[in-house]
Amino acid sequence: MFSKACEYGIKASIFIALSSYKGVRVSLKGIAKEINSPEAFTAKILQDLVRHDVINSIKGAHGGFEIEKTLISSIKLSHIVNAIDGDSIYSGCGLGLDTCDEDHPCPVHHKFKSVREELKFMLENTNLEELALNIKSGASFLKM
Amino acid sequence: MFSKACEYGIKASIFIALSSYKGVRVSLKGIAKEINSPEAFTAKILQDLVRHDVINSIKGAHGGFEIEKTLISSIKLSHIVNAIDGDSIYSGCGLGLDTCDEDHPCPVHHKFKSVREELKFMLENTNLEELALNIKSGASFLKM
DNA sequence: TTTAATTCGGATAATTTTATCCTATTTTTA
DNA sequence: TAAAAATAGGATAAAATTATCCGAATTAAA
């Protein structure tokens, strides 16, 4: 469904949000360990998220990644997914046609419509705060 | 959402179904042309669908691909997707965790639940007959 | 001011997916 | 029976994704 890059990006963002609530900055190493991802590859994805203003990075000793506390609840999954995978997951044609719309639909266009819309709605209405709180309370997990 | 292989497989199956209703067998070349796919790659996918009993192939001169008319309405999208991509699209964890279930959910497990279920339902309840008829009536298209 | 801890960024490698090519095999028809 | 028209399948190549490595730049602290 999502690319590996996007999976890592989402998990990393949640962990960074969680730490930012605690007021602690996390390092690449700490993130990769926590979300069980390859360190160097994760670095690339984090850079991408920094460029897209999803997270902040602080260079140098005692540096790391963080998200401004007040912004955590306004960051949606769609921001992360868009930064990494683009919006093709819910805007592209399910069968890869170049033009696929109401006037010229692919065979599954209408069948997929509600799935795509529900996915889009979900991504646009799920924010980092709730995801982080669920990790904190032990209601969900970042690895295994 | 789907792999290219799966996209080609779905489109090819619809075209084969359509032709089978007309009582004509279609060649690899004819299929690739109709669905705008690379010929040799499409051949591999068709072999896969033959092995999984989704379509039939007849070798030799005047050979080609077909689906038994009476079976067309019983072939679901899920059969095609499963043959080519497996069921990871709606059974795997959205964030790639090895174990992700009600007891040990990933952060988006519950959020994704309805999307996955709707996708699964749609794939399991859409059959080749309706898709082929929509092409025939001009309500949907296989290329462009 | 040096050192250590970091992120950044470019180069490269491994893996997977997508795509191509060529030969073998099968089957119909002339 | 030979030739032509197909699919089958193995080998290989190209492209995209995932992953690694290493040096440069930055920053805090000793």
Could you tell me if residue A144 is inside a domain? no
Residue A50 lies in a domain: yes
Place of tokens 């077909």: B66
Mean pLDDT of A25-41: 98
By CA distance, what is B124's nearest residue in A? A111
In a domain, B143, yes or no: no
Write down the mean pLDDT value for chain A.
97
* CB-based contact, A84 to chain B, within 8 Å: no
Dihedral pair phi/psi, residue B21, rounded to 5°: -60, -35
Residue B54 lies in a domain: yes
Q: Provide the shortest C-alpha distance from residue A39 to chain B (in Å).
A: 16
| CB spacing of A131 vs B109 below 8 angstroms | no
Residue contact A95–B144, C-beta within 8 A? no
Q: Spell out a b/e string for A54-87, using b for 16 or more CB atoms within 10 Å of the CB, else e.
A: bbbbeeeeeebbbbeeebbeebbbbbbbbbbbee
Burial class (CB in 10 A: 0-12, 13-18, 19+), B124: middle
**DSSP labels for B6-41?**
HHHHHHHHHHHHHHHHTT--B-HHHHHHHHT--HHH
Within-domain flag for B142: no
| Assigned domain for A143 exists | no
| CATH assignment at residue A129 | 1.10.10.10
A56-60, long-range: CB < 8 A, 24+ apart: A58/A25
Would residue A113 count as lying in a domain? yes
The count of domains in chain A is 1
Per-residue confidence (pLDDT) for residue B120, from 0 to 100: 97
Whether B48 and chain A come into contact, CB under 8 Å, resolves to: no
CA-to-C1' span, A63 to D27 (A): 8
Q: What is the pTM of this model?
A: 0.96
Residue A31 lies in a domain: yes
CB contact under 8 A, B107 and A2: no
Per-residue pLDDT of chain B (144 residues; tens, 9 = 90+): 999 999 999 999 999 999 999 999 999 999 999 999 999 999 999 999 999 999 999 999 999 999 999 999 999 999 999 999 999 998 899 999 999 999 999 999 999 999 999 999 999 999 999 999 999 999 999 999
Chain B neighbors of A1, CB-CB under 8 A: 1, 89, 92, 94
Give the range of the structural domain holding residue A46, as residue numbers without chain letter: 4-136
Written as six digits, the tokens of A104 are 């010229």
